[in-house]
Amino acid sequence: MNVSVRSGCRALVLAIALPVVAGFMPHSSLSMWQDQVVNAQPPKGAGKEEKKTKATGALSQKVYETLNKAQEKFDAKKYNEALSILAELKAKEGAGKSALKPYEVFQLYNFYGAIYFTQEKYGDALKAYQKAISQPDIDERATLQIRFTIAQLYLVQEKWQQGVDALIEWMSLTPQPNADSYALLAQGYYQLKQYDKALTNIDKSIGMFKTSNRQPKENWYNLAAFLWSEKNNYDKVIDVLRETLQYYPKKQYWLQLSAMYGEKKKDAVQLAALEAMYVDGRLTEERELVQLAYLYLANEIPYLASKVLDKGIDSGKIQKTEKNLELLGNSWRAAQEVKKSIPVLEQAAAKSSKGEIWARLGNVYLDNEEYDKSAKAIRSALQKGGIKNQDMAYLTLGMAEFNLKKFDAARKAFEQAQKGSQAKPYATQWLQYLDKEIQRQKSLES
């Protein structure tokens, strides 16, 4: 019996969260322009060659004071007032002699971006940050964090290709991109269904953390497992899950690992994973306990299947449904515990509108030599209908009637059983035996 759960493979991620900009520190922080206030005139000694260099990050006194006022409103969460103050600077963006310098425009739109971001107006924030980094002669080092934020904002808006492209550009300008950035890139490729590229980057993230003796993040393992499952490489999924469990020994990963062993048709290992959780008291849901019972049956351990189901029903964790009671009854029967099987199957039959369970109950009664009950159960089964092997039911009925010495009724049942291919050879033998028994009875009477 193959009871592996294929859906367990698709359940692997497993919730992959969209990239978010949580943890981002707005560039409008006052510290961004502290110690950047200078006079409008260049420093003494500045020659022509120095004027050609990139902006050094200097703000005029007036711009500094205006940004400072906006910062106070921002800190007080008075965002509209902060925007009104910034509008004063924006009006001077190209106003002749009083026009803002490129670095001042850069800081202005950087601040706009931070406010819009805080208000979750991601489209406006993206436009503002793009305007900020478009200013001429801005040192690339000053734009790096903004470029990273732009990539995140694309991804938040589900503009996957633009987000990936922006992130790759940021990485090209960054001396040493960190593991989180590779994980973010992996998620972008995942959304684009470019799984090979996603795997390369998420593996790099995990490897970077392991190399530095740090614990890789849980959602990185989730993404890696999901990507391998999408490629139907269950061996790799198993490897990822086993490693995940070293750091995050959670129930969900044990269940997923068990499901993957099921996909590989390794029923014994699949059972071992679930059994370990059961012994540890971590299997608490009905579907988990029933799955464990099925695995015990698949591995020909019906007694333990019965114990799991019996305990689950007694505790209320497994409902007394027709299906569950039938499974318990069949498990007890397979474990040669016929007397325990009968009352459970009786309960299951009482809940059923079809004859299949009644037919099985009739067989159990026959095994327990309760021939009258067996015959009644089979007749009830035939009356209700819905029996998979009706010829076998007639065969059981014939055997019960024979043992009750009701030979005419037994003959009729065996003749009906002969109409089915499965029961025909057995029914034929029973008819021959029946004729001999009738002759024997007659000889005894004479």
Task: For 358-371, write each residue's pLDDT tens digit.
Answer: 999 999 999 999 99
Task: List for the chain the helix, strand, coil content (%; round to 5).
Answer: 70, 0, 30
CB 201 within 8 A of CB 185: yes
Grouping H, G, I as helix, E, B as strand and the rest as coil, residue 55 is: strand
Q: How far apart are CA 426 and CA 389, in angstroms?
A: 14
Q: How confident is the model at residue 382 (pLDDT cuts 50, 70, 90)?
A: very high
Cβ neighbours, 10 Å, residue 150: 24
Q: Exposed (0-12), middle (13-18) or buried (19+): which is 41, by Cβ within 10 Å?
A: exposed
Nearest to 334 by CA among 373, 299, 288: 299
What sign results for the dihedral spanned by CA atoms 118, 123, 129, 131?
A: negative
Identify the bridge partners of residue 138 per DSSP, sorted by sequence position: 55
Q: Which residues make beta-bridge pairs with 60?
A: 38
Helix intervals (H) in 54-194: 61-75, 79-90, 102-118, 122-133, 140-156, 160-173, 179-191
Question: Where do the structural domains in the chain lie, given as residue ranges?
Answer: 25-35+56-138, 352-446
117 pLDDT more than 80: yes
| Residue 21 confidence (pLDDT) above 60 | no
pLDDT cut 70: percent of the chain above it: 86
Q: What φ, ψ does residue 74 adopt, rounded to 5°?
A: -60, -45
What are 386-405's pLDDT values in tens digits? 888 899 999 999 999 999 99
Domain 352-446, CATH 1.25.40.10 — does that match?
Answer: yes
pTM for this predicted structure? 0.71
Is residue 25's pLDDT more than 70?
no
CB 410 within 8 A of CB 422: no
Q: What is the 8-class DSSP label of residue 266?
A: -
- The greatest distance separating any two alpha carbons of the chain, rounded to the nearest whole angstrom, comes to 142
Which whole-number Å values give the CA distances from 3 to 232, 288, 360, 389, 422, in the listed order?
19, 12, 22, 23, 26
In tens, the pLDDT along 330-379 reads 999 999 999 999 999 999 999 988 898 999 999 999 999 999 999 999 99
pLDDT at 32 over 90: no
387-396 b/e with 16+ CB inside 10 Å = b?
beebbbbbbb
Q: pLDDT tens-digit profile of 297-326?
A: 999 999 999 999 999 999 999 999 999 999
What letter would DSSP give residue 37? E
Torsion of CA 131, 135, 140, 143, to 10 degrees: -30
What gap in Å lies between CA 147 and CA 192, rounded to an integer? 21
Between the alpha carbon of residue 211 and those of residues 25, 96, 142, 145, 207, the distances in Å are 28, 55, 30, 25, 6
φ, ψ (nearest 5 deg) of residue 138: -95, 130
| β-bridge partners, 37 | 59
